[in-house]
Chains A and B, each alone.
Chain A
Amino acid sequence: DVVMTQSPLSLPVTLGQPASISCRSSQGLVYSDGNTYLNWFQQRPGQSPRRLIYQVSKRDSGVPDRFSGSGSGTDFTLEITRVEAEDVAVYYCMQGTHWPYTFGQGTKLEI
């Protein structure tokens, strides 16, 4: 199975400041159709995961534009331009290129 490794596992931030989370895969994530199926999820306390980003950089409907995804190959990043209080959550990357889909271990964003 493809191993997804996130860093850091804990990220203390200041409101209004930027934040960045890294995700590395043990194999390249370019699928046979040319797309890269790397996703980012947000899980607030007591809630189900919510998808923020799919195919590396495409934001889901309703996701604030302060969230952005980038990367290629095996290295990917989720960035928040200015952290708000509602962003306190655990963030997970997930690859959908290789079967079975696999998740990173999560990064806890703390104010």
Chain B
Amino acid sequence: QVQLQQSGPGLVKPSQTLSLTCAISGDSVSSSRTTWAWIRQSPSRGLEWLGRTYYKSTWYKDYAVSVKSRIIIDPDTSKNHFSLQLHSVTPEDTAVYYCARDLHGARSFDIWGQGTMVTVSS
């Protein structure tokens, strides 16, 4: 049974970096069958895909245009997890952040993490 367990702080100061980790059990971050994504949800923006990483002979990363200049998603094969870093945050980045799995060919999100509420405030 595949599970995703998120961790990270729930409060970040403006201009600082939001950092979250998604630990994978029952699957591998470097599987050639899967893509690993971050999605956020806020009342103002709804559900918003932020970016993804996947391995197919080499690592690939894609980011949403809205955050492309500020985001890094990194896999860690030694810990079987992947992380999200969002730099220079503002109160507009306040949201519930989710990690999720997308099986190649499914073009969907079949497994989700439990969600982390992140508030950007001084």
Contact = CB atoms under 8 A, between A and B. Distances in A.
B47 interface: yes
A49 B112 contact: yes
Size category of the A interface is 20 to 34
A28 interface: no
Interface residues of B, number: 17
B28 interface: no
Interface string A4-31: 0000000000000000000000000001
Dominant secondary structure at the A interface: loop
Given A31-B107, A37-B107, A101-B107, A50 B112 contact: yes
A92 B39 CA distance: 14
Interface in B78-122: 98, 102, 106-110, 112-115
Residue in B48, B62, B98, B107 whose Cβ sees the most chain A Cβ within 10 Å: B107
A28 to B, nearest CB: 15
